[in-house]
Amino acid sequence: MKNIHKLAAIDIGSNAVRLLITSIRINKSETKFKKISLVRVPLRLGEDVFSKGKISDKKLKKLQKTLKAFKILMQMHEVYMFKAVATSAMREAENSTKIIEDIFKKLNIKIDLISGKKEALMIANVFF
């Protein structure tokens, strides 16, 4: 008997916001992962943060629209569970706490703000 689950990951980065949807098939002897969809939206949050110290209202609205679209895609694909993380630009933005709280209130998406070290470890785990 096979168990099939669909999982998703949202990566809010300095240059782009990405959504990866994956199916996981589990049977007695093995687990298989298959990429279903990968969407990349080049928001360039880092442009604001690294020059002005915060994410502008214009970029925030684009981020919210992007995440709303990602939620619809996850619903269409019947995603079982997802995780959203934010990296460098959000870490350094003066208004990151407010943005993360607002997105949770409006879209029910919990964003984990991860450290540079954790980001590096996650990348290393993919490749090594």
Mapping DSSP to helix (H, G, I), strand (E, B) and coil, where does residue 108 land?
coil
Closest by CA position to 64, among listed 25, 17, 26, 121: 17
Tell me the residue range of the domain where 43 lies.
Answer: 3-127
Q: In the chain, how many domains are there?
A: 1
Radius of gyration of the chain (CA): 16
pLDDT (tens digit, 9 = 90+) per residue, 60-100? 999 999 999 999 999 999 998 999 999 989 999 999 999 99
pLDDT (tens digit, 9 = 90+) per residue, 9-30? 999 999 999 999 999 888 878 8
Model pTM score = 0.87
User: Which position has the token pair 């949807």?
Assistant: 21
Please, which pLDDT band fits residue 114 given cuts at 50, 70 and 90? confident
d(CA 45, CA 61): 11
- The CATH number assigned to the domain holding 102 equals 3.30.420.40
User: What pairing do the DSSP bridges indicate for beta strands 17-26 and 31-41?
Assistant: antiparallel
d(CA 112, CA 110): 7
d(CA 85, CA 111): 5
- What per-residue confidence (pLDDT) applies to 1? 44
